[in-house]
Amino acid sequence: MKFATFNTNSIRARLSSILDWVKRENPDILCLQETKVQDQDFPVTTFETAGYHATFKGEKSYNGVAIISKHPLDHIRFNLYNTEEEAARFISARICDIPVINAYVPQGFAPGTEKFEYKLRWLRDLLGYIGNNYDPGYPLLVAGDFNVALEPIDVFDPEQLRGEVGFHPDEQAIMRELLDWGFVDIFRKHKPEGGYYTFWDYRIPNALKRKMGWRIDYILATAPLAAKSTDVWVDTEARMRERPSDHTFLIAEFDLDF
DNA sequence: ATGGTCGGCAACCGA
């Protein structure tokens, strides 16, 4: 079973590249973030024509998440909270009896701001939601853009970046709590060494070439599923050549019959 | 060479 996650930074702007990638890589499940499209405009038929099911929750201009799957999705949930007005950052579904959560964690702007507090609150609420609804002894996959790098080896310049948004101890503490609840960071399991990134800031010129990246996208799995992961990689080659996103595809392979 | 990121969406906001 091939599982992937990608922050699109507009699914409409990169639809043809994403479709090419899907046809080439043939993932079973693909979690997308920052689709930036309202539900009535989501390119659902494009994915259906390619042989995929799709579930999505979007809003105008910002955020937006989707799960694309070769296999039917059920038990679909669109909200982290039980409110109508929340941002489109959470979507979950069950695929072949495996629960999947796709999250787009708030970016946080800068420590000490209201946006940063919102990010911390959202992460805590995600942790609380998972703790209240799942059991670490059973299969669960959580993927997405967490906008938090955990360890010094996960950013290009830990000394300079320490304390900045995305590499701040308050965010890392909640991420660690989430992992300690019962997740394995699948990338770290297979690649214990550093220097692998999933995000390069557009605002840094030639950030990819200069290796000025961050590992802020994750595929997390509870122990019974993590035991079945066989490989993980970041698809830097296919980083949307003609229209690069600031993120890359992150892919994990599981020894599961799908 | 005298600038130097994107996308959405229509002026700037968010990343």
pLDDT, tens digit (0-9, with 9 covering 90-100), for A214-231: 999 999 999 999 999 999
pTM across the whole model: 0.97
Average model confidence (pLDDT) across chain A: 96
Looking at residue A85, its pLDDT comes to: 85
**Which residue has its C-alpha nearest to nucleotide B6's C1'?**
A202
What the block records as the tokens of A80 is: 């982290």
Contact A217, A250 (CB under 8 A): yes
Measure A56 CA to B5 C1' (Å): 27
Picking from A10-19, A78-87, A143-152, A226-235, which range would have the lowest pLDDT averaged per residue? A78-87
- How far, in Å, is the CA of A152 from the C1' of nucleotide B15? 22
* Chain B bases having any atom below 7 Å from a protein CB: 4-9, 14-15
Please state whether strand B lies within 7 Å of residue A208 at its CB atom: no
Strand order in the sheet with A65-69: A53-57, A65-69, A29-33, A2-7, A250-254, A229-234
* The pair of three-digit structure tokens given for residue A146, joined into one six-digit string: 């967490």
Please compute Rg for chain A using Cα positions.
17
Q: Is A163 helix (H, G, I), strand (E, B) or coil?
A: coil
Cα(A108)–Cα(A86) distance, integer angstroms: 16
**C1' of B5 to CA of A213 (Å):** 15
Instruction: Print burial letters for A242-252: b (CB count within 10 Å at least 16), e (below 16).
Output: eeebbbbbbbb
Backbone angles phi, psi at A147, to 5 degrees: 55, 30
Chain segment A231-243, per-residue pLDDT in tens: 999 998 877 667 8
Q: How far is residue A181 from each of residues A123, A174, A227, A241, A250, measured CA to CA in Å? A: 13, 11, 16, 38, 23
Three-state DSSP at A5 gives: strand
* Cβ pair A249, A6 in contact under 8 A: yes
Residue A27's alpha-carbon distances to A57, A135, A236, in angstroms, are 21, 26, 16
What stretches of A22-72 adopt beta strand conformation (E)? Answer: 29-33, 53-57, 65-69
